[in-house]
Chains A and B, each alone.
Chain A
Amino acid sequence: MDTLSTSFAPAGATSRLTARVASLPSADKALLALLFGAALLALVLGLVGGAVTALARAGALTFLPDDAYRILTLHGVSVFFYWLYLIQAALLLVLAAAENGRGLALRPLAWTGAALMLAGFGVSEWISATGTPLLYDGSPELAADDPRSVGVFALGYLLLSAGLVASAVCGIATVLQPRLRGEAGEFTSIGFALFAWAGFLVVSAIAATNAFLPGLLWALGAGPFPADHGTEWHILFHNLHYLPLMAAVLVWYVLSEHLTGVTSIHGPRLSKIVFAAYLVFVPPTSLYHMFLEPNLSESVRVVGSLLSLFVSVPTLAAFAIIVSSLEASARARGATGFFGWMQGLPWRNPAMANMGWAAVNMMIGITFAFVLIQEKLAPMLSDTFFVPGYFHFFAVGVLTQTFLAALMVILPALGGGSLWRPDLLRRMPAVVTIGLLIFGAAGITAGFMGVPRRVFDVGYGGMAPAAWPLLMALVGVGATIFAIAISVTVYGVVRTLLSLRPSGGQAPVVDWRTGSRGVCAVPAWTGPLSVAALIAAMYVFTIVAFQLIQSLPIIAIGGGHGH
């Protein structure tokens, strides 16, 4: 590379997004600040719970069994429900308000939703800390003799669900309002994505209600024991971890435009199809979570196995749209070199660094996700530490880093302050990734060896392989590293939220919009090569897993593994 005639935006310049956020009514700003603050609090609680859990598994901390599993419950409840749902609700509302241009429609409903979600947050945290440890899935069978814990735990999630529905309806109304007033025509790709995302949030809330209302009714003596909780949970759980992925991709769209000025070179129609594809591809692919179930029918196994191959279609397509749009725009401005065009991106902006490393983490996560979803490998990997080993690449590396990146852009506009120490914050994503690589490598190896995912003492009286405790110690090291790096970022974001004084300096962005004639005439190989590398990695690790399972001193048939 390479000369790239990058236009740096003038210092202090505001993008369309930040300008619109800055001009929101103060009532909206107050609501959004409340939701962002609550989401960050949930993240902090989850982060502390997770770090303590990892250190306890590593043998560095010791707890009584119930206390250990309460901490694990707090970790899961805080991160997977309240951090991820509160931040989604807040981002949906702020992006919808910015899309609208005048603020939120149905504002009282948005406040009601926030109140319900915060009430749920309080209820869930309290019962997780004091009740029978139910882990984040709240399985009633763990507390058949303690209806109070089951009922209160379910109540927390039901309040969250009700609040999510209210927030999503408000988001939909806000996106639709300009069209109903005749002030806007066709949806922009972002507007359409917000509409689809809000709809998906409602579906997720319905799935949560379906899973947890029976537990509440049973606890109140108004219904039978919820024996089917496991099945209902699978449906919710699948939504639970793909919905935030859709949100992360949408945030990448928004941030790409904010950071570079680039919108999709493929036009809004393709983007809309991709966002709609989440609704098509994600719900039917949930069957692969059930491969270990002993009474799963053969036909469901076959269909589930086949559908699982399609689960990444929308995410990979969106990734390809974003990367090809950025690359083509850079090359149209004179960038050369295979990967040299990337040097022109505003890496000194922490939001860009977060987003870039999130893409790397996504590739690693998808690689191992496709090993796990193979039906024949489920009897080797499901219920082992392989699961947390790979999904932290998504939960921390992709989702948390992406949403924090959005906060780095939105909060200064919302509060009028400045981003706290961008030079420090932009280094954190690399540290997070280093920690995740240690955590993931040790955790995935442990999973291959059979280390169970929810056991604190993996010694089994000396019968377990000697490598198990060592691998758990490495998991603790990795978790400590990424927990510290995320904590620094969260601290910076909270300082930004509380900051009211603009410093004058803005995190750098570039402007690749102008001078992009012939943008599509240049080749854009980074996307295809990334997908090719991903497929190669999937092949390698899938083959490793098959070789390993075939090497075991056992010949087996039956038992929820499909044959």
Chain B
Amino acid sequence: MSERHFTTRRGFIAALGFGAVSLYGAWAAYGAAPLPFGGHSGHKDAARETDADGHGGHGAAEGMAPEEFRFEHDFFVRKYAQKDGSVNPHADADAHGHEGDAHGGHGHADAGHGPGAATASGEPADLYLMAQKFAYSPDVLRLKAGQAYRFRMMADDITHGASIQLGSASRIIRLRPNVVTEQTITFTKPGEYLVYCTVYCGQAHDAMHGRIVVG
């Protein structure tokens, strides 16, 4: 009986089965490894993220009920609506040249986190985006490059996407009905970004899109 060459040994063959596990090295190199050793990113991840908002660990906004979201969303849209139909959360500060939050003290969740106050404090400004068949509210947002925004988003009826096309790739966001999702986003370059639904939601799914205009 000839001695086995090591490439035909059972242990070697079984080890080959685990070959893909070695991809952990690439993940670790980009701070995307799941375990605390080998490049675990903690609350930062490979997608150029910061831990500025302290809401690490969950995409869903803790504590915000759907009804509260709807109330804040409606207030946000009414307050910052422009004549062209867009919503510009900086319009108030731009127009009056002050940083006071006009609705501070009204009991809204974003009290103290309006764009003016946010710019002064370094805190992200709160925005509200509602997805529903087959549109976004607001469907055009006017924002500023370099400013951090806390996007609070929710699907109002069924599951939708609120993905942002960023040129060479997109940031895909999935929204479940009545689950408030929160992301803190800073656009680093001015431009006009397409927001579009990436979860099939019905007959006019193809037409469901909006814009974020970053100046």
Contacts and interface: CB of A to CB of B under 8 A. Distances in A.
Contact of B187 (A277, A550, A553): A553
A517 B1 CA distance: 8
A556 B43 CA distance: 11
A452 B53 CA distance: 29
Interface in A452-478: 452-457, 460-461, 463-465
Chain B interface extent, by class: 35 or more
B161 interface: yes
A518 interface: yes
B161 A554 contact: no
A527 B13 contact: yes
Interface residues of A, number: 104
A376 B46 contact: yes
Given A521-B2, A552-B171, A557-B183, A317 B14 contact: yes
B35 interface: yes
Interface in B43-73: 43-53, 55-60
Interface in A381-433: 381-384
A563 B44 contact: yes
A310 B35 contact: no
Contacts of B199: 383, 454
Contact of A555 (B30, B48, B165, B191): B48
B156 interface: no
Contact of B43 (A465, A550, A557): A557
Contacts of B53: 557-558
Interface in B162-205: 163-177, 179, 181-189, 191-192, 194, 196-205
Contacts of A523: 5, 7-8
A382 B169 contact: no
B64 to A, nearest CB: 12
A551 B168 contact: yes
Interface string A513-527: 000011111111101
Contacts of A317: 13-14, 16-17
A313 interface: yes
Nearest to B151: A559
Interface of B: 2-5, 7-8, 10, 12-14, 16-27, 29-30, 32, 34-35, 41-53, 55-60, 148, 151, 153, 158-159, 161, 163-177, 179, 181-189, 191-192, 194, 196-206, 209, 211
Given A460-B196, A517-B2, A555-B49, 10 more contacts: A270-B10, A298-B56, A313-B17, A318-B17, A324-B8, A376-B32, A381-B172, A555-B186, A555-B188, A560-B174
* 10 closest A-B pairs by CB: A450-B170, A317-B17, A521-B2, A559-B183, A560-B59, A305-B34, A553-B189, A294-B181, A518-B2, A559-B59
